[in-house]
Structure 1
Amino acid sequence: MTAIPDLSDHLGYWLRQVSNHVSHAFARRLADQDVTVAEWALMRVLHGEAPMAPSRIADRMGMTRGAVTKLADRLIAKGLLVREASPEDGRAQTLSLTEPGAGFVPRLAALADANDAACFGHLPDADRAALGRILRDMVRHLGVTTVAID
């Protein structure tokens, strides 16, 4: 009978362990600000950009338009996002950050930076750079085009 490798014999196991920890730690930091990871990602996509059509946001994030609409509705209810008629086509809509939303993004980005520092700060700079290169190469190789929000 062929020996079956342990879970920990697979790189994917270790990648998932780290990914889960990093993701959950960041989600907890954002929860303290009443924002989800998905909401943060949408806000970050819009930060510094002109008002954008939900379909364009969906394309950039690799999400359905319906998922973007649900996220937008939650952010609109929180006063962080606004939905307006497109100036080019009054039938179309655009999404943009409100002034409070735009001001909130740098604070949330600082939480993302702090989470990275807490999770990866123990690594020497060269190892962090190598890990970043390896992960970006894997994303390209695997054809991943969605924004990780789960």
Structure 2
Amino acid sequence: MSYRLHESLGYRLTLASRVQQRRLEEKLRPLGLSRLDWVILVSVGYDGLRRPSDISDHLGVDRTAVSRALRRMETSGLLARRNGKGDGRTRTVALTDAGRDTLARATPLAQENAALIAERLSPGEQDLLARLLTKLITDDDLPPSTF
């Protein structure tokens, strides 16, 4: 029996993902952001999520990893965490002015990174790839990522 690693679809997907991730990380690093910080900023700033559990579920990231990132982001002044209304156990998060500014500066960097991927594919290929990836990642059996 034989297995050709570089011909494996899973391996190729992993490599493509790593290339995209590495490029994004390099672009975000000067802003002091990790990829997880970035997607949390997007979730709060653009998607309107406020509860840490909702952010975790939305991103498919382990709640402990999100909680650690939120603490770090609060310490760095990107967001503020508050006790929720009525139930002091419920926490909510909101971007600070610094968080909104960082999100505004990081968004074009993420768009540039996405463009680097898109320019290699025709519009039809982009649509096909998006549909195929959606088909692969909508599996309910996927465990949360630690990012």
Q: 2:37 aligns with which of 32, 36, 39?
A: 39
CA contact (8 A) 1:58 1:68 kept: yes
1:131-142 → structure 2 map (5 Å cutoff): 131-141=129-139
Aligned counterparts of 1:41 and 1:149: Cα–Cα separation in 2: 13
Q: CA deviation at 1:84?
A: 1.2
Aligned counterparts of 1:13 and 1:129: Cα–Cα separation in 2: 22
Structure 2: runs of 5 or more not aligned: none
Aligned counterparts of 2:109 and 2:125: Cα–Cα separation in 1: 22
SS at match of 2:106: helix
Alpha-carbon deviations, 1:101-123, whole Å to 9, x = none? 12322322221110111133121
1:102 maps to: 100
Identical positions, percent: 25
1:18 to 1:79, Cα distance in 2 relative to 1, 3 A? same
Q: 2:28 aligns with which of 14, 19, 30?
A: 30
Q: 1:92 aligns with which of 90, 93, 100?
A: 90
Alpha-carbon deviations, 1:40-74, whole Å to 9, x = none? 11111111466723233223233343322210111
CA contact (8 A) 1:37 1:149 kept: no
Partner AA of 1:97 in structure 2: L
TM-score, normalization: structure 2?
0.85
Structure 1: runs of 5 or more not aligned: none
Q: CA RMSD in A?
A: 2.3
TM-score, normalization: structure 1?
0.84
1:55 to 1:149, Cα distance in 2 relative to 1, 3 A? closer
CA contact (8 A) 1:45 1:57 kept: yes
1:129 to 1:143, Cα distance in 2 relative to 1, 3 A? farther
Q: How many residue pairs are counted as aligned between the two chains? A: 147
Q: Does 1:81 align with 2:79?
A: yes
SS at match of 2:114: helix
Aligned counterparts of 1:85 and 1:18: Cα–Cα separation in 2: 40
Alpha-carbon deviations, 1:13-57, whole Å to 9, x = none? 211121111111111111121100011111111114667232332
